């Protein structure tokens, strides 16, 4: 095989989830001059997919054509600095789509799965946690019981979505439409829920909870202290990134392991928390920080400070992105747990080679590269919905805007 060069960079947008889920996936396909040698990467930014597509098609494609796809480190730096202003979520996701695709290509050239290129397996399977949500305690309990029967040992429990849900007063909602929740009601409902979960399932089940920034900082500290008695595996997103300094107060008052990072896009956001050992799990969204190249470096930094990884893995990450997470998990010694939402039948058909779950673990296949492909013809049958998301228009009962 002659030395390949990048021939084209294409963007595929698709929405293969259930109709009620606004799942807008962005997959990047880097094609080379070698017939049938291409790579796939995830650039999914569900809230702003068209901006990411524009960044790739209008700027990264002309920048990368004619270059050597095997020079991953150099190309990542080139993409990162070429716009001069850097480290925002749109450009980071655009870079990630290319970066993951380049790792996929390198694995195919080497005839090895990506985890081998990252140093080889540290484990055979990747421990996952699943989401147990419901409108009330009974529904959450039933969902947890179902996961336990499936062999899952780590479960994140929530009532009514992030922060719960309340119906606003009509006069307020008319002037300030949005997704309403009551922070005080949410905190009390959650404490009651976890009392019941520990009563029902005892102490062996690993329980997790996501605050999702829904409490004012002082209230969040008190909530963390009250949740300590449930011995959580971790408590996630206790504060928004802008209020990271509050982690020191929480750390001084409770021993609950803390997870943070899914909104991070820049090292200046995570380094103070890592250096201060103010969190226990790094939760970055791998595509939002620029792909596999920066994520493997971040994992190594965390290892030096005693932190574990728990990469963001919601339902609106493409199966390509999930595959990248799994390869990284397999080769990371300080791996902790992987968020997992599972795949629909349509996704499995659209993305042949999806990682497989057995019990409480997910397993990568041993195909070269990321081991996953894309049926573009099927992807075109599921176009992305238009419009803006509602759930990120969060408001408290008086109509004030809040962190989603």
Which pLDDT does position 107 carry in this prediction? 98
Is pLDDT of 1 > 70? Answer: no
Which pLDDT does position 388 carry in this prediction? 86
Catalytic amino acids?
A: 162, 212
Asked if residue 29 belongs to a domain, the reply is yes
223 shares a domain with 103:
no
Q: Average pLDDT of the chain? A: 96
224 shares a domain with 236:
yes
121 shares a domain with 52:
no
DSSP 166-204: -PPPHHHHHHS-SEE--HHHHHHHHHHHHHHHHHHHTTS
Q: What is the pLDDT of residues 14-41, one digit of tens each?
A: 999 765 467 899 999 999 999 999 999 9
Which pLDDT does position 2 carry in this prediction? 79
| CATH number of the domain within which 44 lies | 3.30.390.10
Whole-structure pTM value: 0.96
Q: What's the CA gap between 90 and 77, in Å, rounded?
A: 16
Is pLDDT of 328 > 90? Answer: yes
Which pLDDT does position 32 carry in this prediction? 98
132 shares a domain with 167:
yes
Is pLDDT of 92 > 60? Answer: yes
- Closest listed residue to residue 125, CA positions, set 309, 349, 363, 376: 363
Q: Give the CA-trace dihedral at 387, 130, 247, 281, to 10 degrees.
A: -110
Alpha helices (runs of H) in 111-129, residue ranges in sequence order = 114-117
Q: Which of 45, 80, 113 is the last residue of a domain?
A: 113
Asked if residue 387 belongs to a domain, the reply is no
Decide if 30 contacts 41 (C-beta within 8 A): yes
84 shares a domain with 122:
no
161 shares a domain with 99:
no
Asked if residue 129 belongs to a domain, the reply is yes
Is pLDDT of 277 > 70? Answer: yes
What 3-state DSSP class applies to 154? strand
127 shares a domain with 91:
no
239 shares a domain with 320:
yes
Q: What is the pLDDT of residues 279-315, one digit of tens each?
A: 999 999 999 999 999 999 999 999 999 999 999 999 9
Q: What's the CA gap between 51 and 69, in Å, rounded?
A: 24
202 shares a domain with 70:
no
100 shares a domain with 138:
no
Q: What's the CA gap between 340 and 363, in Å, rounded?
A: 12
DSSP 187-254: HHHHHHHHHHHHHHHTTSSEEEEE-TT-S-HHHHHHHHHHHGGG--SEEE--S-GGGGGGHHHHHHH-
Q: What is the mean pLDDT of residues 73-95?
A: 97
Asked if residue 295 belongs to a domain, the reply is yes
Q: What is the pLDDT of residues 188-239, one digit of tens each?
A: 999 999 999 999 999 989 999 999 999 999 999 999 999 999 999 999 999 9
Q: What is the pLDDT of residues 238-259, one digit of tens each?
A: 999 999 999 999 999 999 999 9
Q: Which of 93, 113, 133 is the last residue of a domain?
A: 113
30 shares a domain with 177:
no
Domain that holds residue 76: 6-113
């Amino acid at each position: 095989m002659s030395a390949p060069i990048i021939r084209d960079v294409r963007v595929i947008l698709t929405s293969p989830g259930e109709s009620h889920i606004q799942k807008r996936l962005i997959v990047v396909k880097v094609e080379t001059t070698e017939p049938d040698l291409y790579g796939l990467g995830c650039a999914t930014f569900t809230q702003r997919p068209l901006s990411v597509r524009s960044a790739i098609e209008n700027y990264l494609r002309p920048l990368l054509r004619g270059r050597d796809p095997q020079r991953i480190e150099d190309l990542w730096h080139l993409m990162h600095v070429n716009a001069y202003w850097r480290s925002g979520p749109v450009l980071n996701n655009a870079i990630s789509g290319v970066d993951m695709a380049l790792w996929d290509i390198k694995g195919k050239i080497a005839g090895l799965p990506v985890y081998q290129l990252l140093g080889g397996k540290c484990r055979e399977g990747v421990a996952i946690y699943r989401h147990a949500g419901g409108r009330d305690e009974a529904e959450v309990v039933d969902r947890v019981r179902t996961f336990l029967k499936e062999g899952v040992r780590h479960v994140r429990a929530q009532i009514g979505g992030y922060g719960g849900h309340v119906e606003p007063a009509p006069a307020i909602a008319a002037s300030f439409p949005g997704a309403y929740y009551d922070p005080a009601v949410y905190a009390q409902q959650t404490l009651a829920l976890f009392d019941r979960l520990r009563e029902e399932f005892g102490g062996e089940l690993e329980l997790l909870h996501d605050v999702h920034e829904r409490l004012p900082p002082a209230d969040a500290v008190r909530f963390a202290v009250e949740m300590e008695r449930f011995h959580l595996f971790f408590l996630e997103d206790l504060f928004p990134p802008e209020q990271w300094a509050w982690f020191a107060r929480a750390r001084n008052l409770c021993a609950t392991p803390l997870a943070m990072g899914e909104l991070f896009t820049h090292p200046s956001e995570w380094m103070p928390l890592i250096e201060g050992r103010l969190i226990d799990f790094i939760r970055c969204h791998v595509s939002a920080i620029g792909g596999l190249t920066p994520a493997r470096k971040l994992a190594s930094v965390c290892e030096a400070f005693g932190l574990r990884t728990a990469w963001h893995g919601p339902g609106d990450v493409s199966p390509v992105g999930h595959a990248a997470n799994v390869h990284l998990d397999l080769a990371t010694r300080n791996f902790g747990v992987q968020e997992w939402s599972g795949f629909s039948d349509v996704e499995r058909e659209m993305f042949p080679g999806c990682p497989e779950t057995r019990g409480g673990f997910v397993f990568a296949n041993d195909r070269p590269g990321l081991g996953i492909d894309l049926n573009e013809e099927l992807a075109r049958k599921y176009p992305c919905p238009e419009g803006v998301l509602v759930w990120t228009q969060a408001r408290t009962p008086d109509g004030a805007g809040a962190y989603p």
